Amino acid sequence: MSDKTCCGCNTLSDNFKELAPTMEKYAKVPGSLITILQKAQDIYGYLSPEVIYYIAKETGIKPAKIYGVATFYAQFRLDPIGDNLLMLCKGTACHVNGADSIEEAITEHLGIADGETTEDGIFTLNNVACLGCCSLAPVMMVQGKNGEETYGNLTPDSVKEILDTIKSQN
């Protein structure tokens, strides 16, 4: 395989310097693909086709197999996410305490559904099975540039205020 991306436009080694130490450590270690994909996603925010082809080149694993792993596990993203990832808990306690009305408020306020990103790139909404904060139900965690913040005992009005505050800080 050449040192070009799938479209031949950029050299892989120049684009993936941050991932190189991980590749040096794990590329030839059997069973380490998930570790490599996790690190790549941590660095780049998602798994672009270029990242997948670079990993394929370095590991000798076919790109189709890497795509198969990346699409099988829900933790991996093939599209970029917004600056703030909204993880809305849909577990039993949150569901019983109104998570659906919180999701509806987010959807109406931001114009996005589960898995979508706002046009301005500020928010991505992801419904998750459980955040482990049942006593705060309904709850949402926000991962942003400044770390993670958990918001509990949400109401449709409070979630809109939270979103407006976050947006004003971007």
Q: What is the DSSP string of 74-111?
A: TT--SS---SEEEEEE-SHHHHHTTHHHHHHHHHHHHS
Please give the tally of structural domains in the chain. 2
88: domain CATH number is 3.40.30.10
User: Is residue 23 domain-shared with residue 65, that is, in the same domain?
Assistant: yes
Range of the domain at 18: 12-72
Cα 86 from Cα 33, distance rounded (Å): 27
**pLDDT at residue 122, as a whole number:** 96
> Would 79 be classed as within a structural domain?
no
Both tokens of residue 87? 């993880």
> Would 54 be classed as within a structural domain?
yes
User: Is residue 66 domain-shared with residue 132, that is, in the same domain?
Assistant: no
The whole model's pTM is what? 0.72
pLDDT (tens place) for every residue of the chain, 170 residues total: 334 444 444 444 568 999 999 999 999 999 999 999 999 999 998 999 999 999 999 999 999 999 999 999 878 999 899 999 999 999 999 999 999 999 999 999 999 999 999 999 999 999 999 999 999 999 999 999 878 999 999 999 999 999 999 999 98
- Cis peptide upstream of residue 138 (ω within 30 degrees of 0): yes
Q: What is the DSSP string of 45-83?
A: SS--HHHHHHHHHHH---HHHHHHHHHHSTT--SS---S
User: Is residue 55 domain-shared with residue 98, that is, in the same domain?
Assistant: no
**pLDDT at residue 5, as a whole number:** 41
User: Is residue 90 domain-shared with residue 150, that is, in the same domain?
Assistant: yes
